[in-house]
Amino acid sequence: VSKAPPRKEKAPPEVPALITDKERNTIYEKGRFLGKGGFAHCYELKNRSTGEIVAGKVVPKSMLVKQYQRDKMTQEVQIHRELSHPNIVKLFNFFEDPLNVYITLELCARRSLMELHKRRRAVTEPEARYFTHQVVEGVLYLHDLRIIHRDMKLGNLFLNDDLVVKIGDFGLATTVDGDERKKTLCGTPNYIAPEVLNKMGHSFEVDIWAVGCILYILLFGQPPFESKSLEETYSRIRHNNYTIPSNATPPAAALIRRMLDPEPTRRPTAKQVHRDIFFKSGFMPTRLPVSCLTMVPKFG
């Protein structure tokens, strides 16, 4: 990614109404603003020749001033572009113009599990099984490719029109060589595992920890270590200080306890989670109606 002239802080990016991908001779019409995250603003982009609508992440080059920022972005794209799985957001293209870097991605029209959580709080156990099982299928695919996502959270679990879950945002992802333990993590994961806090080296188990937090929130309506301050939350994580509500079913409680084990090597692998009795211990829908985004479903 080539350098751009420095610019004043925090101004929204100048995004042209027509965005051209010169290499592929494709022109996109900028649509509505979808949201922002990190350095990126996201818009609906309409491919002028095919009419296809995609999610376009726009990062002003003026925000990528340091080489390590450009390298991080390049690594995010290099990892993400190789992936192809029904529970992983598809990355289509990556291109730039003098002002911005653009990444075109699979549009997930029903936003993410974060918005569903804010609207519904705790969901039913069949819904929690349905969503978590798809997240685990995506994590299994990544771990088989020796990729750790490292920032699994509700806001990165996107939903398409069929409420299929798609893991997105590979901004903190990395690849593991052999049995190495990663020593550094540039960024702050939302559901951060104790071994990352204690800087003891970390690996695939951090994603299992995050899936444990996600299942906990879906079933009980709030994060396991939620506190008033970040320091308090980190202290609770370090002390593994959380409780499972008494109304939890035994298979759910047992699986969450194993995924939130403070000792990473005692946590189940993605394969073991995928086969866990929790997913067989009750009804798991094969699809969900979009009404689930706003109200408790009545299963037949």
Which residues contact ligand 5FR (rule: CB under 6 A)? 34-37, 40, 42, 55, 57, 89, 105, 107-109, 111-112, 114, 155, 158, 168
Residue 43 or 220: the one with the smaller Cβ distance to ligand 5FR is 43
Residue 102 or 158: the one with the smaller Cβ distance to ligand 5FR is 158
Report, in Å, the least distance between residue 297 CB and ligand 5FR. 22
Closest Cα to residue 140, out of 83, 216, 215, 182?
Answer: 83
Closest Cα to residue 170, out of 138, 202, 134?
Answer: 138
Distance separating alpha carbons of residues 214 and 183, to the nearest angstrom? 24
Report, in Å, the least distance between residue 169 CB and ligand 5FR. 7
Residue 84 or 229: the one with the smaller Cβ distance to ligand 5FR is 84
Using the structure block, give the residue that is written with the tokens 């592929």. Answer: 24
With beta carbons less than 8 A apart as the criterion, state whether 299 and 283 touch: yes
Helix or strand (DSSP H, E) at 75: helix 67-81
Instruction: Report which residue's Cβ sits closest to ligand 5FR.
Output: 35
Report, in Å, the least distance between residue 156 CB and ligand 5FR. 7
Enumerate the active-site residues: 151
Residue 116 or 288: the one with the smaller Cβ distance to ligand 5FR is 116
CA distances from 28 to 19, 39, 91, 255 (A): 5, 21, 16, 45
Report, in Å, the least distance between residue 13 CB and ligand 5FR. 11
Residue 26 or 156: the one with the smaller Cβ distance to ligand 5FR is 156
Q: At what angle do helices 205-220 and 113-120 cross, to 10 degrees?
A: 30
CA distances from 90 to 77, 126, 136, 229 (A): 11, 27, 17, 35
Report, in Å, the least distance between residue 151 CB and ligand 5FR. 12
The first and second tokens of residue 252, run together, are 């759910």
With beta carbons less than 8 A apart as the criterion, state whether 141 and 88 touch: yes
